[in-house]
Amino acid sequence: MPKPVRISLDAMGGDHGPSVVVPGAALALERHPGLRFIMFGDEHQVGPLLDAHPKLKEAVELRHTEVVIRMDDKPSQAVRAGRWKSSMWLCLQAVRDGEADAAVSAGNTGALMAMAKFCLKTMAHIERPAIAALWPTLRGESIVLDVGATIGADAMHLVDMAVMGAAMARIVFDLERPTVGLLNVGTEEIKGIEIVKEASRILREATFPNLAYHGFVEGDDLGRGTVDVVVTEGFTGNIALKTAEGTAKQIAEYLRSAMSRTWRAKIGYLFAKPAFDALREKLDPSRANGGVFLGLDGIVIKSHGGADASGFASAIDIAYDMAHYDLMRTIRDMLEQTPGVASA
C-alpha cells in the first residue's frame, strides 16, 4: 500500500489566512482521503477552526508559530527578518527535511520564491526556477511558464523551462509527448529577438523523446490552446496572466450589466442561466488556482493570495498530483534524456 502524500501548509499566508486554509484543506481531504497535513501557524487562530472539522483535525499535525510574512514585505526583508520562525519558512523547511512531499502557501509571492530558493535550492542543471500556471483554453487547459518568477531569460533558460513544463504536462494532462511552443511576436522563424530564436533552434534540433516542439506561438494561441505548454520569460508571462485575468473580469462585468439593463434582458437571462453558469465556471480563476514553482529541489505550490476555500483546495489538489505522480523524478528523467540540456 503506497504511503500517504504529506503536504505542509502555510496556514497564515494570503489575504485571509487560516479562515481559508483550514476549510480549503478540509475540501481537499474529501477528494483525497489519504492526505496528511502539517500546518504551520498560530495555534490560537488555527486550533478552533480545526475543531470545526473533526476529520481534518485527525489528519493534521499543527505546529505553532506566531511569525507571519506579510503580503507587503519585500523578499529581501522576509528572508532576513525572522525567517527561521515564520509559517512560510517552516512550511518550506518541512519539504527540505523530508517531512512533507510538497508545500502550499498563499503568501507573498516574492518572499515565497526567495525563501524557496534559499531553503530548497534549485535542481541540478537548473539555474533559475519558474512559475507554471494552468491556463484555460478553448481545448481545455494549457500550461504557461514563466508567469513571474524571474525577469528576462537566455536561450538555455527557455529550453530548461520547455523541459520542465513538458514534465508537468505529462503528469497533469497524462500525455506521453506534450507539445511545446515558444511565445513570440510571430510564428515565422525570422521573427523575434535573438534569444528566443536561439532557443527555438536548440529545441528544433535536439532529440526530445518526451517533448514535441511545435515552434513559435503568438498571444492569441494562449486562449486557443494551440500547444500543451507555452514558454516565455517572466516579465512577458506575468503581463499576459494579469491581462487575461482582467479581461475575464471585464467580460463578466459586461454580461452582468447587460443582463440587468431591461426587464426583457432579465427574462432572457433566466432562460440562458445554465449557459451563463457554465461560462462563469470556465472563467472562474479558483478552478485553476495554484502556480507550480518548477526548478526547485522540492515541490512548492503558490495559491492566489485572495483565493477562497475552494480555490485553496484546488492548489492543494495540484500539490497532491505533483507529489503523487513524482514531478521531481519526471523532470530529472527528462533532463537526463535531453542531449545538450543536462550537460549545459
| Helix, strand or coil, per DSSP, at residue 27 | helix
The predicted pLDDT at position 282 comes to: 60
pLDDT in tens, 242-252: 787 777 777 77
Euclidean distance between CA atoms 32 and 113, whole angstroms:
27
Give yes or no for residue 140 having a pLDDT over 60. yes
Residue 344's pLDDT band (cuts 50, 70, 90): very low
pLDDT at 342: 44
The residue length of the chain stands at: 344
How many C-beta neighbours within 10 Å does residue 51 have? Answer: 11
**Domains in the chain, ordered, with CATH?**
1-126+295-326 (3.40.718.10), 127-291 (3.40.718.10)
Contact partners, residue 170, CB within 8 Å, separation at least 6: 176, 178, 210, 330
Residue 71, pLDDT above cutoff 90? no
Round the average pLDDT of the chain to a whole number and report it.
Answer: 86
Which single residue is written with the C-alpha cell 504529506? 6
Locus of grid cell 498571444: 219
In sequence order, the β-bridge partners of residue 173 are none
pLDDT in tens, 224-268: 899 999 999 888 888 888 787 777 777 777 777 777 778 777 777
pLDDT value at residue 269: 65
User: pTM of the full predicted structure?
Assistant: 0.86
Nearest Cα residue to 185 out of 176, 177, 195: 195
Closest CA to 295 of 163, 186, 153, 179: 163
